[in-house]
Structure 1
Amino acid sequence: MGVFLFIVLCSLMGSVASANGIMLEPDRPFLRVKIFERAELECCYKNAVNNAIWVKRLSSGQPEPVNLSEEVFQNYSKSNGKQCGFLTLKNVKLNDTGMYQCHFNNTDVYTHGTYLQVFKPIEKTINLSESTKNKILTAEGVLLLLCVVIPSASLLFKSKKQNRLEMKKMKQEEENIYQGLNLEDCCTTYDQIERSQTQSQYQDVCTAMEEREEILEKP
């Protein structure tokens, strides 16, 4: 990251003179291209005896000449004392990512360079239109609402049913309390109890009178 920032700062600077008298123009620091698309790199300089060749920096930091082909080629232009080298990659691939610089033969002079990044876009798994997406979102909203309403309604129904069963059970228990009781039998039993109590009282009075009479008859 620090090396990349250093390259960017160097590229933003003006022309730089090398020990060989070559004046380096600022390069484009960064270029991002989609895979299989066309990429064009440029390096410009002044006072160079020969045209520069394009090299690519490897991960180890060592430069390696770019392999030219029908898909990868370079050309040059010259105007007003300024020379420019161009590197064209017709169909970039992921392994084309790297730092590209111009190098001058028989010298240790390199241009600032351009970092080329090749990216692969994220592909859609299912290509849906906006109207279809809206319909799916609406359906999801309805399903979510049903998932909330149906369980709530079911719990409410069960609660009401439970209350009805409890009320019915209480009513049956009340009926069972009075079940088997006969009012006539109750009245008969009550009368018998009353009579027995009355007779016992009368019997006690009579017995007491007889005892008194016996006591009085004795001399």
Structure 2
Amino acid sequence: MEFRLVIFWCFWAAAAEEELKLEADKPLQRVPVTDEATISCCYRWKESPSVLWFKHVHAIKEPDSKVVNKTENVMFKPSDKTNGVTCHYLFFKSTQLNDTGLYQCKLHHSTLQTFTHGTFLQVYIPLQKTLNLSESVKNSIITAEGVLLLMCVLIPGTLLLCKSKTLNELSKKKGREEENIYEGLNLDDCNSAYHQIQRSNQQGPYQDVASCGEDIQLEKP
């Protein structure tokens, strides 16, 4: 008789477990500190099990698991059932850093006890802005940066153009001065003077006595 009873309970537990189907939970939920947060666990089951929320914290030494109790900050929302899916909700009015952990529902009915997949709640501190600037101020800063960048490009380029123009003017002025040196010179006078110098170099300052006649008066030294 006892053996048959054990078989009956095992068969009933297996049938009940087959009827239970856990729905997918949200694996991770990140919320900033002091914000609201809602965690849900859903399942399909004809039975109405008792539900306990558990919080699992992975400490350095050993994991810590404890039952979540109702407080002013933590509340249990009423469960709802839609299309055969029953959901239970754990609501945080204002999250704190120590609320970080893995939250699971423990479903208990008769001899069947099981945990849902669970949701890891991560509470973080948002980064604070060093300078709290409005959008209009940001746009003004970007515009000023653009103007400064344009000036940094235009001013050196303008200076280089002015410098090259000045050098070109100096080179042209130098060329005109060199041309003006030879202005006013008569080429015919230069040629006659040149030929006289050449002739004097060829004849010499003295006349040859042998080549002169008797009637020619010699040049005195």
* Same-fold status (TM-score > 0.5): yes
Contact 2:55 2:68 in 1 (8 A): no
Three-state SS of the structure 1 residue aligned to 2:117 is coil
Query: What amino acid maps onto 1:153 in structure 2?
Result: T
In the other structure, the counterpart of 2:36 is: 38
CA deviation vs aligned residue, 1:32-51 (integer Å, no higher than 9, x gap): 433311112233554355x2
Three-state SS of the structure 1 residue aligned to 2:131 is coil
In the other structure, the counterpart of 1:72 is: 74
In the other structure, the counterpart of 2:143 is: 138
In the other structure, the counterpart of 1:21 is: 16
Deviation at 1:101, TM superposition (A): 0.5
Write the distance in 1 (CA, Å) between the matches of 2:54 and 2:15: 19
Contact 1:18 1:109 in 2 (8 A): no
Deviation at 1:200, TM superposition (A): 5.8
CA deviation vs aligned residue, 1:93-122 (integer Å, no higher than 9, x gap): 344333210124686511122233435445
CA change 1:208–1:39 in 2 (3 A) is: closer
Query: What amino acid maps onto 2:38 in structure 1?
Result: E
Deviation at 1:152, TM superposition (A): 0.4
Give the structure with the larger strand fraction.
Answer: 2
Matched residue count:
187
| Structure 2 residue runs without a partner (length 5+) | 1-11, 184-188, 215-221
Write the distance in 1 (CA, Å) between the matches of 2:200 and 2:79: 143
Contact 1:56 1:65 in 2 (8 A): yes
Contact 1:32 1:116 in 2 (8 A): yes
Deviation at 1:155, TM superposition (A): 0.8
In the other structure, the counterpart of 1:54 is: 53
CA change 1:108–1:194 in 2 (3 A) is: same
Write the distance in 2 (CA, Å) between the matches of 1:159 and 1:70: 80
Structure 2 matches for 1:122-133, cutoff 5 A?
Answer: 122-133=127-138
Contact 2:40 2:87 in 1 (8 A): yes
Deviation at 1:20, TM superposition (A): 8.8
Write the distance in 2 (CA, Å) between the matches of 1:158 and 1:122: 52
CA change 1:198–1:209 in 2 (3 A) is: closer
Contact 2:33 2:96 in 1 (8 A): yes
Deviation at 1:146, TM superposition (A): 1.1
Write the distance in 2 (CA, Å) between the matches of 1:196 and 1:112: 125
Deviation at 1:138, TM superposition (A): 2.5
Deviation at 1:90, TM superposition (A): 1.6
Please provide the CA RMSD for this pair: 4.6
| Structure 1 residue runs without a partner (length 5+) | 1-16, 179-183, 212-219
CA change 1:112–1:173 in 2 (3 A) is: same
Which sits farther off after the overlay, 53-62 or 137-146?
53-62
